[in-house]
Structure 1
Amino acid sequence: MSEPLQQRLCQRTGMPPQKIAVIPQYCEDFYAVPQPDAALQAQFGGRFNLVFTGTFTPAQSLETVITAVQDARSRGADMLHLLLVGDGMSRAALEAKVKELHAEDAVTFYGSVPATDIPKFTALADALIVCLSDSPDLGLTVPAKVASYMAAGKPVLASMDGAGNAAVAAAGGLSSPACDAAALADNLLALTRMDAAQRAAMGQSAKEYYLAHYRRSELLRKLEHFILEGRV
């Protein structure tokens, strides 16, 4: 699913790289179709909405994002708002972190929604955040949400190491090391200070990267060719 995994498999098996196809996880097509939602716009419009969608677990290191958001707000990004869409085992701890930082105005826990509703939230977003903890194994692959975020055509920020960090950087996003709240806060501050045209260009770059690397039909074609012909 990634070049780091290809390299690890070659090291463990002695297989030559040309015998191993790198085919990342594809993105379902509906993530690329915006769904502007008037109710969400009425509720959250007028702020700079940084959106995360997915499961809340220790692997996501969402406390890093909460800390970075509060830091960026204290340095001038006062309209920055973190919208957390989802649920999971870390929610109670994250809610406690928000209270500890007195960040209730900066962070909203929206709860879980069907996957097909995610484009409503990415359409609302001014930027999308993907994050992981600093475990070496987590850096071996590109999280599925990276592809779905790029498909939305919005600026993408990464707080992670390894393949995911590299993919976001290659797509024109802003990347920082895993669990580095200060570096993420710097990127958030920089993003909020960009004008609309600069952010739109970032989103377009992300969309083009999705089209080149993560479309379902193209990746299935590569898989079929590799199985039938031994090549991508």
Structure 2
Amino acid sequence: MAKRLPDDFDVVFVYQLSPVLMAIPGIKYARKNKTPLLLYCCDLWPESMKLIVKKERSFFFQIIKKISTSIYMDCSRILTQSSSFVSYMERVHMISSDKLSYLPAFASDDYLEANFTPDDSTVDFIFLGNVGIAQNLEEVIEAVATLGDLQRFILHIVGDGSSLAGLKLKVSNMGLDEKVRFYGRRPVEEMPNFYKLADACIVSLKSDNLTGLTLPSKVQGYMAAGKPIIGMIDGPAKEVIQKSGCGICVPSGDVQGMSNAMREFITHKDRYKNCGANGRKYFADHFSKRVFMSTLYNELNELRSKRNVPVF
């Protein structure tokens, strides 16, 4: 027999991943007990459904959209993991702006004080993480191929995924084996070695649908490690890179722009010597656990004062 919950909780907190239906039990409790509900949106619905249901006008997609709207409307307050989610909520679900706020997920600060200064003359670019279609590394490799006149650089790709085999074949066919190295999946204990090697870190992402609305967690990791970032990406990641002054960013899919950015960094690396420190400062101010928990506590405490006020 299921245990009956007490009816005197101050606030209902929903950590919303997928599917959005997971929020329904919390909403039912909040309705019954007139308790404020705070939802932290990590997966945006029905946008996440586009990975499965391609046609937005389909009957099934429209049903999911209506359910999603109803769920988000029933929340007292919504915090979003991505800044782009806020405008989506306003546009698609007609959620009032005063009900929404951006709260980026915190990341590990283990590398915030570490010394990862490279110790050789080669310019080493590092990509860390999933190697899939969304990461768009094919176009990063195409950018590398245009830098044949430059000798002193290497792109290191650390990670595994659905595109790894194809990327290895592409590199071989293009004769780039000396410029691109693959390491596969490596244990987390080895990450400091790769950060020590890196002069700059690479992030790229297709701008299709939901993926273009998110901030890849690797961006926060790169910033904590104090590494300049070279990005071929749109959305929140581009905004963070530009606001923090931690690197160079070109639009998603802009191969020539990525080539120019890498060339600029290779030939004028000293111009970017402050990017690492800029990234670490921005990380400490926006992505630390301390900042996240303080903001979340204040949000919960604010709703707590409305404990017995009907919110639905």
Partner of 2:206: 133
Alignment map for 1:35-54 (pairs within 5 Å): 45-54=120-129
Does residue 1:186 correspond to 2:266, yes or no?
Answer: no
Alignment map for 1:10-159 (pairs within 5 Å): 10-34=90-114, 45-72=120-147, 74=148, 76-159=149-232
Which stretch shows the higher mean deviation, 147-156 or 63-72? 63-72
Q: Which has the higher contact order (CA 8 A, sep 6+)?
A: 1
Partners of 2:142 and 2:255 within 8 A in 1: yes
Q: Kindly tell me: are residues 35 and 205 of structure 1, through their superposed partners in 2, closer, same or farther at Cα, counting changes over 3 Å?
A: closer
Q: Secondary structure at the match of 1:158?
A: strand
Does residue 1:175 correspond to 2:249, yes or no?
Answer: yes
Distance in 2 separating the partners of 1:62 and 1:25: 25
Q: Secondary structure at the match of 1:29?
A: coil
Number of matched pairs: 223
Deviations 1:90-135 (A, max 9, x none): 1110001101210000011012122343232122200000111131
Offset, 1:29: 1.5
Structure whose CA Rg is larger: 2
Partners of 1:87 and 1:111 within 8 A in 2: yes
Distance in 2 separating the partners of 1:186 and 1:113: 30
User: Which protein is richer in helix relative to its size?
Assistant: 1
Q: Kindly tell me: are residues 121 and 178 of structure 1, through their superposed partners in 2, closer, same or farther at Cα, counting changes over 3 Å?
A: same
Which stretch shows the higher mean deviation, 99-108 or 208-217? 208-217
Partners of 1:34 and 1:122 within 8 A in 2: no
Partners of 1:2 and 1:24 within 8 A in 2: yes
Q: Secondary structure at the match of 1:59?
A: coil
Alignment map for 1:187-206 (pairs within 5 Å): 187-196=261-270, 198-206=271-279
Identity of aligned residues (%): 29
